[in-house]
Structure 1
Amino acid sequence: MRRSKYRRANSPAWFSGRRRIVVVAAAALAAFGGVVTVTQISSAGTKNQNNAGTNSALASCDKLQAPARSRLSTQTRKGTYTTNNGRVTQHADDGAGDVATTAQLQARCREWVTNNVANAETLARRGRGNNGGNNNGGNNTGGNQGNTGGNQGNTGGNNGGNASAAPSQAAPSAPAGNGGNNGGNNNGGNNTGGNQGNTGGNQGNTGGNQGNNGGNNGGGAVTPPPGAGLGILTNSCETSDLEDHDGFQKGNRCVSTEFGEVGAAANNPTLLITNAPRQVNRNQPFTLQVSTRNLIRDRFLAAGQGGYYVESSVLQGGLVRGHFHTACRILDNRNAAPAPDPVPAFFVATEDSRGGAQPDTVAIQVPGLPQSGEFQCSSWAGDGSHRIPMMERANQTPAFDSVRVRVR
């Protein structure tokens, strides 16, 4: 994915700064879910100095620990189950009860490092061998400017867009060949410039794209960020003092996952509760009918497996891919907003590999509510990371609906 130049003007080097590769590994591998087999790494390979990045990432994998279990809704059937004659999959509490073990996390992490970081380093070494010595002459200062050009697009313009930027988070999983060739073309010094060329090899296509943008702009000034002049507080976690979010349900963290793709207004998701009882008895099962439009219900990453806030929004045919949620909670006071932290009596996330541009309806079966009083039952759409989908315009209504149910 192309990165805007203003986001990368001061990017840290690979494996340095707050955005370390282990954070990327933990976030990316958490999105896959499930258990994978531990890949065996030979001791000889792990001691190879050429695999320093791989070794560092693998060592970080060994430090991962399973998260603590979160509080779950009181009346929801536990785990993952099906309804509607097996056609609809329901995930209790957004998959929060499906907590990964330490062994699972470490295995998935090592698998991801082997398939991404190790492969990237191998390609980078090949790039150094073939193209690392092709840098034009100059001194060390020139080499540094060549690298900066990749980041800012200034020297990139002079080099015809061949300068490479400092590697981004996604660097290990991107092909490294183009970055290596482009890095080798910097007008840097024989020493520093060569090293920058190799770093470009580690980065991959992202650096090449940024360099090309610099070439297209003729080496102009850095593009101002969205919201320039509005006095925005920040637009990345680089300025945050909080720990990086790791895909589990933790507060006081900073989420670096990009928002992702937003569809056209006519394709934005909508949701409506079309049928609900006004009154039920305690512990009496009842059904809510929920209709969605423009939502493909086929993406769900269990929160307990590390799938919370780790996947950017993805469109298919212009429509959001995700799922929807339904919850019921007691209202202690009808005249004041409720406290946000108590767990609800009922909560499920619904995916059924259906949905689309035309509205359809799913029956949500609530097993009963435990106490007398007024309950708020709500449904809302979610993308792959459980967030309410974005909308093209600010004055559109989110895909959300709520009803009141009196329990006697």
Structure 2
Amino acid sequence: MNTRQRYARRRQLSATGKPTRNRRLIAVLATLGVFGALVAVTQVSSAGTWGRRPPRGSAACPPATTAPATSAPAGTPAAGGSATPGPANGANPSGSPYRDHGAMQHPGDGQQPGNLDAQSRRGRGNCTPSSGGNNGGNNGATPPAGGNGGLEILGNSCANSRLQAHDGFQLGERCVGTAFGEVASAEDNPTLLITDAPRRVRANQPFTIKVSTRNLVRDRFLAAAQGGYYKESGFLNDQGLTRGHFHTACRMLASQRSAPAPDPVPAFFVATEDGKGGAQPDEVTVTIPGLPTAGEAQCASWAGDGSHRVPMMQRANQIPAFDVIRITVTR
């Protein structure tokens, strides 16, 4: 086929709409280019989704969500704290509030079944609030009603309190404006257990109590007598563990049938800050020089953050870091 015949053949193929070899090659290359772009976008998207956990304080906070309004079950407190009657006595397996010998009980502290795991997953990791201040930027203003089972929040600051500001000393009838501070993840919350103590001692006889703590770094103590009480927010170390100390105290019980008076100074009290403690449980021995009189003693140990508050917990149904025992004191 000569040159004129080949040229005529090309014109004939173009007229019939059939692609030439060059056009087919261009179509193949274009398809490969689009496929490569899609792969690159997918890889970038996957890297953003499955990448490592961001460093503490660097992630964005998840948006706040409000549970949809639903009709209140029997026994649910209405706004203002009143409650409608629920089951008479004993636990209610449905998870609704109930009365037990006249007292309103809230299973799971009001947590609806099935929601806790989702809330825990949503709250994992650390985030940087999009606006400054507490309560999403409210900065002391009373938050609006709603989003809390219809119960109006009384306040989240001392802005409208009639009491004087707390100044770090151990004074009552004051309003503490210190922010709560940092709360650890559920698996990193402090726990405490009295592991060894005598059941019976003589009055004024020295004895020891052994206390084990977990997830409590005992390296932070602001002396309450020097104005460090409730003065500092709670803080975590780089491993997400609470910094603070623990207390041990004993008091003599006037009765074993009614709660004791809260104001008398205990027979013994000490705060332990030894620079130790961590994710693994360890044990501390506390020496008690003796209890003054015969009777029944209540001895307790409880964790404190740097400013003496019991460390906060991620969930309402976690048991605080404390333990209590009874010791009989004889003459």
TM-score calculated relative to the size of structure 1: 0.45
Q: Point out where structure 2 has 5 or more consecutive residues left out of the alignment.
A: 1-56, 62-129, 137-142
Is 1:261 the counterpart of 2:174? The answer is no
1:394 is matched with which residue?
Answer: 316
Q: Give the match's secondary structure for 1:381.
A: strand
Is 1:355 the counterpart of 2:277? The answer is yes
> Do the aligned partners of residues 269 and 226 (structure 1) sit closer, same or farther apart at CA in structure 2, a change above 3 Å counting?
farther
**Which structure dedicates a bigger proportion of its chain to helix?**
1
1:383 is matched with which residue?
Answer: 305
AA partner of residue 327 (structure 1)? A
2:37 is matched with which residue?
Answer: none
2:160 is matched with which residue?
Answer: 239
Question: Offset at 1:224?
Answer: 6.2
* Distance in structure 1 (CA, Å) of the matches to 2:254 and 2:155: 37
**Counterpart among 229, 233, 256 of residue 334 in structure 1:** 256
* Distance in structure 2 (CA, Å) of the matches to 1:234 and 1:375: 39
1:284 is matched with which residue?
Answer: 205
Q: Give the match's secondary structure for 1:304.
A: helix
2:108 is matched with which residue?
Answer: none
1:372 is matched with which residue?
Answer: 294
* Distance in structure 1 (CA, Å) of the matches to 2:212 and 2:257: 29
* Distance in structure 1 (CA, Å) of the matches to 2:147 and 2:275: 37
* Distance in structure 2 (CA, Å) of the matches to 1:250 and 1:344: 17
Describe the superposition over 1:354-373 as per-residue Cα deviations: whole angstroms up to 9, x where unpaired. Answer: 00000000000000111000
Describe the superposition over 1:152-182 as per-residue Cα deviations: whole angstroms up to 9, x where unpaired. Answer: xxxxxxxxxxxxxxxxxxxxxxxxxxxxxxx
Q: What are the equivalent positions in structure 2 for 1:30-109 lying under 5 Å apart?
A: none
Higher normalized contact order (CA 8 Å, seq sep 6+, divided by chain length): 1
Q: May I ask how many residue pairs the two structures share in their alignment? A: 195
Q: What are the equivalent positions in structure 2 for 1:301-312 lying under 5 Å apart?
A: 301-312=222-233
Q: Point out where structure 1 has 5 or more consecutive residues left out of the alignment.
A: 5-207, 215-222
> Do the aligned partners of residues 384 and 210 (structure 1) sit closer, same or farther apart at CA in structure 2, a change above 3 Å counting?
closer
* Distance in structure 1 (CA, Å) of the matches to 2:194 and 2:319: 14
* Counterpart contact for 2:145–2:151, Cα < 8 Å: no
Q: Give the match's secondary structure for 1:375.
A: strand
Which of the two has higher C-alpha Rg?
2
Describe the superposition over 1:105-124 as per-residue Cα deviations: whole angstroms up to 9, x where unpaired. Answer: xxxxxxxxxxxxxxxxxxxx
AA partner of residue 305 (structure 2)? D
Describe the superposition over 1:264-323 as per-residue Cα deviations: whole angstroms up to 9, x where unpaired. Answer: 000000000000000001111000000000000000001111000010000011100000
Is 1:270 the counterpart of 2:191? The answer is yes
Q: Give the match's secondary structure for 2:266.
A: coil
2:266 is matched with which residue?
Answer: 344
AA partner of residue 216 (structure 2)? L
Question: Offset at 1:232?
Answer: 1.4
Q: Give the match's secondary structure for 1:238.
A: coil
Q: What are the equivalent positions in structure 2 for 1:179-328 lying under 5 Å apart?
A: 210=132, 229-316=150-237, 317-328=239-250
**Which structure dedicates a bigger proportion of its chain to strand?**
2
* Distance in structure 2 (CA, Å) of the matches to 1:354 and 1:374: 32
> Do the aligned partners of residues 362 and 209 (structure 1) sit closer, same or farther apart at CA in structure 2, a change above 3 Å counting?
same
TM-score calculated relative to the size of structure 2: 0.56
Describe the superposition over 1:85-142 as per-residue Cα deviations: whole angstroms up to 9, x where unpaired. Answer: xxxxxxxxxxxxxxxxxxxxxxxxxxxxxxxxxxxxxxxxxxxxxxxxxxxxxxxxxx
Is 1:406 the counterpart of 2:328? The answer is yes
2:100 is matched with which residue?
Answer: none
Question: Offset at 1:230?
Answer: 2.5
> Do the aligned partners of residues 297 and 266 (structure 1) sit closer, same or farther apart at CA in structure 2, a change above 3 Å counting?
same
Question: Offset at 1:385?
Answer: 1.1
CA RMSD of aligned residues (A): 2.6
Q: Give the match's secondary structure for 2:192.
A: strand
The list of structure 1 runs, each at least 4 consecutive aligned residues, that deviate by more than 2 angstroms after superposition, is 208-211, 223-230
> Do the aligned partners of residues 329 and 227 (structure 1) sit closer, same or farther apart at CA in structure 2, a change above 3 Å counting?
farther
> Do the aligned partners of residues 280 and 318 (structure 1) sit closer, same or farther apart at CA in structure 2, a change above 3 Å counting?
same
Question: Offset at 1:227?
Answer: 5.5
Question: Offset at 1:233?
Answer: 1.0
Describe the superposition over 1:232-269 as per-residue Cα deviations: whole angstroms up to 9, x where unpaired. Answer: 11111001010000000000000000000001000000
